[in-house]
């Protein structure tokens, strides 16, 4: 393996991304400025601690970068306290739980098969091993969050933390209602808005800030930044506990190249161009939902209130794993995903998850969504036809190149 050319592999991955319809909801394109900052001399600097309280010298510019990024996070999400050091979303959530609960305490989060995230208490995650996890789920008729059952379980189990947030749930989350339930049972309410951060920041989704004790988000999904995270709060005491849990509790020196990239990202998120972009994400998602329905695909809940769609393939001849593999051979990037009350294994689930942030960043609009749906239907019709998949792949390349010229 000593002869591996990593620079060449990175170049080839760049080419692959440019030739692919990237429909994975959590993926996007970071701007050149972010990529430059990630590869800058900031990578070389150790900066354990917080601005003004470091354990290493030479922090003149580092402190300015982190302080500015904190202020931008506070301004964008309208909170008085922000931590920008967490390495990514999962460590950010672990830091919050560590600050607010003790091992063995009860936490509640949306179950993974209902569209939640691993770090919301799933047994495969440390969050499901260190804490007593009581998942809440969906109404079997509407496939929307069952808030009445959530409230019933919260009263029964009296959790220390109730987590709201989604990974594969296509509808709006009622943060206000969950916050009210949390207050009634004496629980902390932690809102993970990683997937919908852009919509929340620009008032296109209910804002959890007035209803949650802590808000976490990644910075690389809809925000289009580096792979980092924010932890936000309006409570000074909670913020102090979180800071101590992030450092020195969970991690050492912050990645200052990442924090600079986050700062740049947050600057962009305040612009009119970003508002236009997130509005277009919503328009594209609705248009793609209509087009997929026209092509004969079934959608969980029939559509979306955010940026993602979940395809129900139970009436199809191909499951989510086989369809995602066939789509990739045709240069269309998606991911297999369980659907609510799925009786298939996670390795071969009955669902497929798609989203519009990356194609929206490319410049695609509602007018392009019917073509995407047609290509997906073509693949689903010929999942084992290597020649046809190659032909579709060439069509995809021609389509993406129009937006890269």
Distance between CA atoms of 71 and 236, rounded to whole angstroms?
Answer: 15
CA atoms within 13 A on the CB side of 299: 24
Residue 265 exposed, middle or buried by CB count within 10 Å (0-12, 13-18, 19+): buried
Distance between CA atoms of 358 and 84, rounded to whole angstroms?
Answer: 24
Nearest to 200, CA basis, from 18, 24, 365, 76:
76
Nearest to 284, CA basis, from 311, 312, 310, 307:
307
Q: Which residues are catalytic?
A: 46, 48, 192, 218, 221, 227
- Contacts of residues 249-255 at CB distance under 8 Å and 24 or more positions apart, as own/partner, are 249/95, 249/98, 250/91, 250/94, 250/95, 250/98, 251/85, 251/86, 251/87, 251/91, 252/48, 253/46, 253/47, 253/48, 254/47, 254/48, 254/66, 254/84, 254/85, 255/43, 255/87, 255/228
Nearest to 233, CA basis, from 123, 29, 95, 345:
95
Q: What share of the chain is helix, strand, coil (3-state, %, to 5)?
A: 50, 15, 40
């Amino acid at each position: 393996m000593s002869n591996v050319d990593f620079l060449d592999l990175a170049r080839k991955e760049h080419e692959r991304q440019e030739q692919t319809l990237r429909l994975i909801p959590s993926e996007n394109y970071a701007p050149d400025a972010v990529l430059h900052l990630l590869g800058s001399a900031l990578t070389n600097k150790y900066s354990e601690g917080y601005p003004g309280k470091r354990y290493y010298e030479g922090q003149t510019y580092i402190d300015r970068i982190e302080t500015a990024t904190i202020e931008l996070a506070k301004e964008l999400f309208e909170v008085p306290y922000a931590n920008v050091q967490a390495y990514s979303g999962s460590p950010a959530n672990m830091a919050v739980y560590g600050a607010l609960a003790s091992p063995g305490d009860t936490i509640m989060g949306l179950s993974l098969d209902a569209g939640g995230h691993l770090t919301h208490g799933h047994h495969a995650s440390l969050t499901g091993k260190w804490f007593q996890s009581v998942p809440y789920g969906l109404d079997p008729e509407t496939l929307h969050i069952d808030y009445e059952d959530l409230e019933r379980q919260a009263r029964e189990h009296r959790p220390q933390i109730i987590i709201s947030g989604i990974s594969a749930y296509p509808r709006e989350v009622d943060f206000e209602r969950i916050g009210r339930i949390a207050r009634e049972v004496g629980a902390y309410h932690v809102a993970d808005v990683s997937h919908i951060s852009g919509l929340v920041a620009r008032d296109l989704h209910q804002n959890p800030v007035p209803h949650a004790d802590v808000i976490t988000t990644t910075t690389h999904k809809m925000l289009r930044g580096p792979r980092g995270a924010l932890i936000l709060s309006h409570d000074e005491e909670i913020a102090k506990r979180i800071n101590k849990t992030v450092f020195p509790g969970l991690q050492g020196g912050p990645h200052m190249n990442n924090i600079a990239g986050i700062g740049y990202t947050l600057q962009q998120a305040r612009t009119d161009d970003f508002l236009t972009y997130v509005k277009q994400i919503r328009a594209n998602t609705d248009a793609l939902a209509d087009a997929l329905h026209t092509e004969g695909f079934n959608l969980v809940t029939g559509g979306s209130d955010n940026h993602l769609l979940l395809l129900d393939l139970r009436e199809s001849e191909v499951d989510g794993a086989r369809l995602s593999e066939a789509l990739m051979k045709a240069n269309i990037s998606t991911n297999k995903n369980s659907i609510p009350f799925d009786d298939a294994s996670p390795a071969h689930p009955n669902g497929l998850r798609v989203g519009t942030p990356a194609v929206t960043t490319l410049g695609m609009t509602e007018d392009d969504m019917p073509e995407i749906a047609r290509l997906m239907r073509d693949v689903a019709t010929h999942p084992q036809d290597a020649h046809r998949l190659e032909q579709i792949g060439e069509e995809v390349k021609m389509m993406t190149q129009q937006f890269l010229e």
